[in-house]
Structure 1
């Protein structure tokens, strides 16, 4: 594959532009960035519009842009589960998280683990929440690098050896620098540019590409019938139907538990801002449906049969479908715009994820166990250093370890992160919960979910559950968190008699 000079020039120009934005963000709504809540949460001052772009940039990542149409390209209709799941998350956002924001603002909480520590007066439960968040987020950062690497390869850069890794390393050195200096303000501003580029690219794609392929009718006619609908289940099994439903529901329950999503929520200026965004963010679900359709367009365009893309598909598999489609259907300058949108779409969530990990480590491990007497300035400095370490770790992971491992760990991350649902959700609305029961539920849910994934060779999170002779293939995360809930609720009254909690917050009054 030869270097596409025109696309590369446009790509680099847009990348330099957002780099400049990242550095000047330190002077936007200027504040003391030696305070963790200012550096790591933007001072909790983001209004409706900024929060909309920030959460959109946070949740709809570069890997989403690459992987969702790749899944549709590879397996067909099952890939559309991402659309209903992003519809279901917004009622959850509306009902649950404004209440959490109010408590976090009043008590000075920066992370979900801060809230759990205060709600249940349990250092161990808070540590479990923090470690789960860290372990689930690290492979997510690595996947943003994978998405960026795909488009860098599509530009024609070599992707093997030291020389091939230089563009990716440069990109994340820049990311590390502006995140260190500007904190959450940098991805908040860059998210505006990223989303505008994504919208321009997608709306151009849904008009121009079908016109070149003979219309949407011709596109759907070219897609094999097996990929247009879910496979009918075999006798004695619910097949793809239950897998689709549980994937959508489980993913919806897990998404806002990720530390980067929680960081975006807690940076809002009020609970009303969160409620408004619960309604307004549905626009991204519409765009995600259009993104998924790119998978069918790639099938109709026969991008995998083009010999010019053979090396790309050999290295990246189905993940190369969208870049190949853009190279075939758009002029070089617009392909550069599209690839820049994907690359910037990696920078925004990667920055927020690294900040979220830094907040968790600093607040719930460093300050809680090592330096409880550290000053605000020391706390913020440690967080900035940790954010750098996290990024370096993600780069080393991607460069030194096969991409399949990052995908497998991200699959496990979804199973692990959903185990935080009982302490956070039940903690907000239910009384009489025992911290030890919640900790046992978390441990059992994590172990069982991991076991389910292990039985599938860590290549699928769909576990065939047998119930009275009926096979119900479903999302291991959802099955395991149901068990987690059951253990926590059943054991709470028992353990409360043996080890009653002292000093826990009442979820109704939010007082001790």
Structure 2
């Protein structure tokens, strides 16, 4: 999920709480064992292929898919950053709640169509679909590279979430510790994540998601009752938050607002809408979707996933509670919620809460690395490097790439300031939104020209990147956020949405021109019935022709 940057991430030395640490380690070890055992869960006879490793055999039903999507979309960084945004900026941080409400009616319109056509043709990624629909390897490559670029900092932020918990647990080693001692716990967590993802593929996060989501629901249910009782009730919490947020900082500007004022409404609305449009463009969202066994599973999930939005609204209130509690974040707003839990809960339940956040990082990080590996394997390796790769070769390459992706994310976290990671994730949200015309547009019409889509994507990417580069923050000269002035309106709004509008305008205009010039449009390997095929809960390959069941059509 996209979240606004908060403050510079600083070191946070802390004494070790033995009880909380023991509980945290227990749950971490439990999910590690589950991750390795998942390799045997619903394992097919022919498991050395991308469908089995990267999509769990396309066999997940309603509840597994629900937990998998919840574990995929509501990450450890969501758990940490949404309340941290409320803690620092007040109402502006609540944009995450309406955007997760907006997204589900949107995906109800197109995800079942994507599942059906992907089922028919064996598509594993959105780039597979774009290539098949528009007959363009160039457009497919653009979508794949955008997905890879947007996913890398997202994985890094899951490690940032784990690191925040480790800091509060006292495992950061202190500011004066050498790099190895300071980062050893994070390295261990990374190694475990890499090992069971390599071994079990998507089945590992699917199984662990049950534990992760159960813990998160438990922690939030307890926190929303227990902490307000200790703080004197919600009236006291909101009063203290409003008073604190209204205090003037060194620049004379308010620290934040308890309710958004008129000057913030365009930024709030465009950020919520743009984030809603972008969420299911991310490769990991699509990977979790395509792992389901039927079109009906997707439909049912779009109706029950809003339960997570209720959870998110309650989670956001923790930011106000941290203000009232006077939580000491030591200059690092990302520690607000872990530190609030450490201060408010008994040690044993604080350990449970920390485990919820830590495991909440492992699930999405695993899915994201698998999604990135699927993209590279199908749309770079097979399309451009080895067109006749066998399923076994695809499987091997995907597993290796999933490791490399995680190594890259770990290097990002260990070598760069964490605020940079946050802002690159915001930039990734701007980028991934530019793939929407090709993906969603292609699901409903073949009218758009492939070259026009590629040109629109390029314009959106260039404008979005340059506009984001010009945004400064108190801690960073460039890429300091994702809101800027909307050309022609004079209002501050989400850069990604402005770039998307430019993308669509360029695409439409050039499509008209290219069609008038009778430019070649490429071959569409799909037919209308592919988008409405519904096989209920039958086996995913039951109604496929033999050749299609083994490999994507047209390859």
Name the TM-score class by shorter chain.
over 0.9
Measured in 2, the distance between the counterparts of 1:40 and 1:178 equals 13
| Native 8 Å contact 2:147 2:372 kept in 1 | yes
Measured in 2, the distance between the counterparts of 1:232 and 1:45 equals 48
Matched, 1:263 2:284: no
Matched, 1:504 2:518: no
DSSP 3-state at the match of 2:486:
strand
1:30 aligned residue (29, 43, 57) = 43
Residue in structure 2 matched with residue 178 of structure 1 by the alignment: 196
Matched, 1:100 2:117: no
Measured in 2, the distance between the counterparts of 1:229 and 1:293 equals 11
- Segment of structure 1 superposing worse, 500-509 or 129-138: 500-509
DSSP 3-state at the match of 2:120:
helix
Measured in 1, the distance between the counterparts of 2:222 and 2:330 equals 24
Measured in 2, the distance between the counterparts of 1:438 and 1:169 equals 41
1:365 aligned residue (353, 373, 380) = 380
**TM-score, length-scaled by structure 1:** 0.95
Matches within 5 A, 1:466-477: 466-467=487-488, 470-477=489-496
| Native 8 Å contact 1:230 1:240 kept in 2 | no
Measured in 1, the distance between the counterparts of 2:424 and 2:36 equals 32
DSSP 3-state at the match of 2:490:
strand
| Native 8 Å contact 1:298 1:325 kept in 2 | yes
Matched, 1:390 2:405: yes
Deviations 1:130-170 (A, max 9, x none): 00000000000000000000000100113452111111111
The alpha carbon displacement at 1:451 in A equals 1.3
Measured in 2, the distance between the counterparts of 1:341 and 1:280 equals 21
DSSP 3-state at the match of 2:491:
strand
Measured in 2, the distance between the counterparts of 1:75 and 1:101 equals 39
Residue in structure 2 matched with residue 10 of structure 1 by the alignment: 23
The alpha carbon displacement at 1:232 in A equals 2.9
Matched, 1:326 2:341: yes
The alpha carbon displacement at 1:446 in A equals 0.5
Deviations 1:472-502 (A, max 9, x none): 2110000100110111111112123242213
1:200 aligned residue (209, 212, 218) = 218
Matched, 1:250 2:274: yes
Residue in structure 2 matched with residue 488 of structure 1 by the alignment: 507
Deviations 1:419-451 (A, max 9, x none): 000001111112321100000000000101111
The alpha carbon displacement at 1:23 in A equals 0.5
Deviations 1:117-141 (A, max 9, x none): 0000000000000000000000000
| Native 8 Å contact 2:484 2:492 kept in 1 | yes
1:447 aligned residue (455, 462, 465) = 462
The alpha carbon displacement at 1:191 in A equals 0.3
Measured in 2, the distance between the counterparts of 1:30 and 1:268 equals 15
| Native 8 Å contact 2:124 2:374 kept in 1 | yes
DSSP 3-state at the match of 1:471:
coil
Matched, 1:81 2:95: yes
Are the structure 2 counterparts of residues 333 and 342 from structure 1 closer, same or farther at C-alpha, using a change threshold of 3 Å? Answer: same
| Native 8 Å contact 1:453 1:460 kept in 2 | yes
2:153 aligned residue (126, 139, 154) = 139
Residue in structure 2 matched with residue 459 of structure 1 by the alignment: 480
Measured in 1, the distance between the counterparts of 2:412 and 2:163 equals 13
1:72 aligned residue (82, 86, 92) = 86
The alpha carbon displacement at 1:224 in A equals 2.3
The alpha carbon displacement at 1:400 in A equals 1.2
Residue in structure 2 matched with residue 190 of structure 1 by the alignment: 208
Matched, 1:380 2:395: yes
Matched, 1:403 2:418: yes
Deviations 1:203-226 (A, max 9, x none): 000011000001111111111254
Matched, 1:232 2:261: yes
DSSP 3-state at the match of 1:372:
coil
Measured in 2, the distance between the counterparts of 1:492 and 1:510 equals 24
Gaps of 5+ in 1: 234-238, 305-311
| Native 8 Å contact 2:116 2:295 kept in 1 | yes
| Native 8 Å contact 2:92 2:260 kept in 1 | no
Residue in structure 1 matched with residue 551 of structure 2 by the alignment: none
| Native 8 Å contact 1:432 1:493 kept in 2 | no
Deviations 1:293-330 (A, max 9, x none): 000000000113xxxxxxx523xx11111011101100
Residue in structure 2 matched with residue 209 of structure 1 by the alignment: 227
Measured in 1, the distance between the counterparts of 2:324 and 2:219 equals 19
1:166 aligned residue (171, 177, 184) = 184
Residue in structure 2 matched with residue 297 of structure 1 by the alignment: 321
Residue in structure 2 matched with residue 313 of structure 1 by the alignment: 330
Structure number with the higher helix fraction is: 1
Are the structure 2 counterparts of residues 510 and 499 from structure 1 closer, same or farther at C-alpha, using a change threshold of 3 Å? Answer: farther
Residue in structure 1 matched with residue 439 of structure 2 by the alignment: 424
The alpha carbon displacement at 1:93 in A equals 1.5
Deviations 1:41-86 (A, max 9, x none): 0111100000000000000000000000000000000000000000
Are the structure 2 counterparts of residues 507 and 67 from structure 1 closer, same or farther at C-alpha, using a change threshold of 3 Å? Answer: farther
The alpha carbon displacement at 1:271 in A equals 1.1
Deviations 1:360-393 (A, max 9, x none): 0000000111111111101100000000111111
Deviations 1:74-112 (A, max 9, x none): 000000000000001101121110001000010000000
The alpha carbon displacement at 1:33 in A equals 2.8
Measured in 1, the distance between the counterparts of 2:110 and 2:345 equals 43
- Segment of structure 1 superposing worse, 25-34 or 275-284: 25-34
Measured in 2, the distance between the counterparts of 1:463 and 1:509 equals 43
DSSP 3-state at the match of 1:223:
helix
The alpha carbon displacement at 1:396 in A equals 1.3
| Native 8 Å contact 1:431 1:507 kept in 2 | no
- Segment of structure 1 superposing worse, 155-164 or 77-86: 155-164
